[in-house]
Amino acid sequence: MPVGLSGLPTLHPVPGVRLGTTAAGIRKKDRRDLVLIECAPGTHAAAVFTKNRFCAAPVIVAREHLAKAVPRALLINTGFANAGTGEPGLEDARACCAALARQIGCRAEEILPFSTGVIGERFPRERIIAALPACQAALNEKGWAEAAHGIMTTDTVPKGCSRQTRLGSHTATVTGIAKGAGMIRPDMATLLAFVATDAAVTPAVLQACVSAAANESFNRITVDGDTSTNDACVLLATGAAGNPLIDRVEGEAHAALLHTVTEVFTELAQAVVRDAEGATKFITIEVRGGRSESDCLEVAYTIAHSPLVKTAFFASDPNWGRILAAIGRAPITQLDVSKVAIHLNEVRVVRNGALDADYTEAKGLAVMRLPEIRIGVDLGAGYASARVWTSDLSHDYVRINAEYRS
């Protein structure tokens, strides 16, 4: 069961964006697996993609198309990732774009394709193309919840978030959905996120916004340390809110929009970790007192990726020595272990590099039994800080991934 998630919140429609979802039978019958997101003319788009060098065919095509044209539609399929499929996979992705373009009356370059699922197998493009009319017929501004279901793979719950903010005298909406539960360590995991706003903003400012927001959210989560071939996060802006155009990375309107987008991205990113495959714990790792943010991130990720740390959390075992060992092997150039402190929530476990005199096993056990836990690390070396969210490692994670293609 996901940690601290209880269903979708209210997802406000974004004027200028319509979504349609259908069951195309791509991999499993009677499963919602194809989503169409239609953008009104004049919509701007910005995106960040996976840095995995074996990036999937749809990532290659989406990058190409985004560089050439303003998108009119996004097409998302589950079941097959269309990664590791070579030239035939590229042909499949382009054929689906061309078919949808003919149907809605635009150029193929105005379609952005996205896929998620099993790597190394071609998807049945004829099923996708055959289902496009049903997807188009289902288009509506209130289609966010259906679309959140339609992009799921091993997710146990749909993930969505919606916020509204004031831009001067105008109200702007930011609504988004995401999928992801395993192969999660985005570096912009399998993770897809689609967010839209009706704010009026230039393409350059929109790209700066999506990059900054992703860096503080999707790029701060990890479930298993594996970066997917298909990661993508897209931010659409229709301009329908009627606010004065945001054309600079400064000012109150820009700050309000960036704050709201970052809030939505962060809630979606955390939802991915809360619904991580087999997860029973949601863990926040906060590292401070570093010489640089990069040092803090290296320490945080070393802790987050340690199977020994993660299994201890699954067992609710306050085996703090595993955290200490992870800090000690983090790839940073300078570390004075005599200055390190470690907290579990508000319980100080380590002080000046050794067991705190007031710590007891009972105090540690009480924290470890909670579903949400904060690991606090102070390196005592400077003023930088960083935060990462992760999960524990359970029997179910192994089972889910062992049976993934069954």
300 occurs within a structural domain: yes
Do 94 and 174 fall within a single domain?
yes
Q: Token match 């003023």: residue?
A: 383
Out of 220, 250, 274, a domain closes at 274
What residues are paired with 170 via a beta bridge?
167
The string of pLDDT tens digits covering residues 35-79 is: 999 999 999 999 998 877 888 999 999 999 999 999 999 999 999
- According to the model, what pLDDT value does residue 118 have? 86
Check if 190 is active-site: yes
Q: Is the pLDDT of residue 400 over 90?
A: no
- According to the model, what pLDDT value does residue 51 have? 78
11 occurs within a structural domain: no
Do 114 and 249 fall within a single domain?
yes
- According to the model, what pLDDT value does residue 88 have? 96
Do 318 and 268 fall within a single domain?
no
Q: Is the pLDDT of residue 188 over 70?
A: no
The string of pLDDT tens digits covering residues 319-341 is: 999 999 999 999 999 999 999 99
pLDDT band per the 50, 70, 90 thresholds, residue 194: very high
Residues 296 and 202: beta-carbon distance below 8 Å: no
Instruction: Please pick, among 190, 222, 238, 262, the residue that the annotation labels catalytic.
Output: 190
Do 288 and 321 fall within a single domain?
yes
The string of pLDDT tens digits covering residues 110-150 is: 999 999 988 899 999 999 999 999 999 999 999 999 999 99
* Average pLDDT of the chain to the nearest whole number: 93
Sheet arrangement for strand 17-22? 17-22, 34-39, 73-80, 111-118
9 occurs within a structural domain: no
Q: Is the pLDDT of residue 181 over 70?
A: no
Out of 274, 293, 316, a domain closes at 274
- According to the model, what pLDDT value does residue 9 have? 95
- C-alpha 285/C-alpha 304 separation (Å) is 8
What letters, b where the CB count within 10 A reaches 16 and e where it falls short, cover 331-360?
ebeebeeeebbbbbbebbbbbebeebeebe
CATH number of residue 334's parent domain: 3.10.20.340
Do 303 and 383 fall within a single domain?
yes
Do 189 and 295 fall within a single domain?
no
Count of domains for the chain: 2
Do 167 and 81 fall within a single domain?
yes
Alpha helices per DSSP H over 1-120: 57-68, 86-104
- According to the model, what pLDDT value does residue 279 have? 84
Residues 72 and 39: beta-carbon distance below 8 Å: yes
1 occurs within a structural domain: no
- Reference 171, options 256, 47, 111, 46; nearest CA is 256
5 occurs within a structural domain: no
Range of the domain at 175: 17-274
Task: State whether residue 134 is helix, strand or coil.
Answer: helix
- According to the model, what pLDDT value does residue 161 have? 97
What letters, b where the CB count within 10 A reaches 16 and e where it falls short, cover 242-272?
ebeebeeeeeebbebbbebbbbbbbbbbbbb
CATH number of residue 269's parent domain: 3.60.70.12
Do 270 and 294 fall within a single domain?
no
Do 265 and 354 fall within a single domain?
no
Tokens of 115: 């896929």
Do 164 and 147 fall within a single domain?
yes
208 occurs within a structural domain: yes
7 occurs within a structural domain: no
Out of 274, 296, 327, a domain closes at 274
Q: Is the pLDDT of residue 189 over 50?
A: no
The string of pLDDT tens digits covering residues 145-176 is: 999 999 998 788 899 999 999 999 999 999 99
- According to the model, what pLDDT value does residue 190 have? 46
Do 216 and 246 fall within a single domain?
yes
Neighbours of 54 (CB within 10 A): 12
24 occurs within a structural domain: yes
Q: With pLDDT > 90 as the criterion, what percentage of the chain qualifies?
A: 81
Do 298 and 153 fall within a single domain?
no
